[in-house]
Amino acid sequence: MIPHAPHSSNPLHRTSLAGIMTRFIAAMALLVMGAPLSKAANAEEGLKGWWLNKRFLPLPEAASPQLQESIRTGKKPDVRALLLITPQDARGWKVLQTINDAPIAKRVPERAASSNVTIEEAKIAGVRVFRVTPHKIAPQHKNHLFLHVHGGAFVFNGGLAATPEAILIAARARIPVISVDYRMLPDHPFPAALEDVTAVYQALIRTHAPEKIAMGGTSAGAGLTLAAMLHFKKLGLPLPAALFLGTPWADLSKTGDSFHLNAEADRTLVAYEGVLAAAARLYANGRSLKDPEISPLYGDFSGLPPALVASGTRDLFLSLAVRVHRRLRDAGIPAELHVFEGLSHGEYIPLRDIPESKALFAELSAFLSRHLK
């Protein structure tokens, strides 16, 4: 369990704002600039790919030119940065939340306007939500609803920062979306998020037929969606008609080949060590990381709705997507798996204009049209 009490007597666990900012600036320098390289290595990396320890990772030639360009012009991240910015107490997590979430939230109004959607803050069952509504709803989705569960390792992307993916879903599938701004770390570990998602869903099915509701999100949002399915079954609730499971964090332990093969190749998550591992332990709140309501890959998938699962070949969570898809198929659930060449974890959200992102949301739109009645 990560110490997160601000009054801890251990000086290593007392986080000053200056200390957090110093570590964050140093970490961001590593994340943005990468580790120091020789001039020859810099030239080779800029044109052809990255050196990862002793192996060379070339640009993904089969990926779109736009994704290749994004990788080529970016700098490889460094796992040391994750260790530098990993908070040691509640104050540290909250500072990191603000640093992460504020720039995302600031861009939301422009993204909503350019995507022809409106965003309205509301409360359902006492939980804050954001209603994201396309200006023109598709005829087949006139009475449908997508319940969105945002990602962010159960600690990031709160408030308006929860909505960029909801905007993409609403705009590209032309379906009304409700995004749940569930309670998060460090103040609210398990089961707070699950309780909030459940409360919103229970309220919605009083006014919407479950067969007209789809549900899902990316990363922790996808994992939480799966955990909610197991919880809904336990409560005897009718399940929604379809699930979107984008690169699901469905196992909070470090289990799967891609945690090792894609470490440092993934530009988004970089590695399990550091922030991810710390958030997993903090969220579990002393329970086993393999508890099915925390890591739903260890639960019973029978009777779940049809699902669309997405990932990328450089995604740290690729193994989790593969395992979720296989568990669904083994349980007899109709499930699709879409893996995009060269894509890191969840990049279809920030890189919304690349062909890979457009293709994924086109697949999701068609999937929803097939499964929502």
Collapsing DSSP to helix, strand or coil, 354 comes out as coil
Phi, psi (rounded to 5 degrees) for 128: -70, 135
What does R_g of the chain's alpha carbons equal in angstroms?
Answer: 20
**Rama region for 249: left / alpha / beta (φ>0; ψ in -120 to 50; rest):** beta
What is the chain's pLDDT, residue by residue, as a tens digit (373 residues)?
232 333 333 332 334 454 444 444 444 433 333 333 333 444 445 457 888 877 889 999 999 999 999 999 887 777 777 777 889 999 999 999 999 999 999 999 999 999 999 999 999 999 999 999 999 999 999 999 999 999 999 999 999 999 999 999 999 999 999 999 999 999 999 999 999 999 999 999 999 999 999 999 999 999 999 999 999 999 999 999 999 999 999 999 999 999 999 999 999 999 999 999 999 999 999 999 999 999 999 999 999 999 999 999 999 999 999 999 999 999 999 999 999 999 999 999 999 999 999 999 999 999 999 999 8
The structure's pTM equals: 0.88
The per-residue pLDDT for 47 is: 56
Helices 164-173, 90-114: crossing angle, 10 deg rounding: 30
Q: Which residue has the tokens 């200056």?
A: 18
Are 109 and 222 within one domain?
Answer: yes
Could you tell me the residue range of the domain that residue 316 belongs to? 103-371
Distance of CA 257 to CAs 37, 233, 274, Å? Answer: 28, 30, 18
User: Is residue 186 reached through a cis peptide bond, with omega within 30 degrees of 0 on the bond before it?
Assistant: yes
The per-residue pLDDT for 34 is: 38
Are 44 and 185 within one domain?
Answer: no
Which among 56, 85, 114 is the end of a domain?
A: 85
The per-residue pLDDT for 81 is: 73
The per-residue pLDDT for 52 is: 81
Q: What are the E-state strand segments in 213-365?
A: 213-218, 242-246, 307-312, 335-340
Domain membership of residue 91 (yes or no) is no
CATH code of the domain covering residue 365: 3.40.50.1820
* Residues 289, 280: Cα–Cα separation, whole Å: 7
**Taking the CB of residue 293, how many other CB atoms lie within 10 A of it?**
18
Are 269 and 204 within one domain?
Answer: yes
Which among 55, 85, 115 is the end of a domain?
A: 85
Domain total in the chain: 2
Two structure tokens written together for 158? 């709160």
* Residues 169, 162: Cα–Cα separation, whole Å: 13
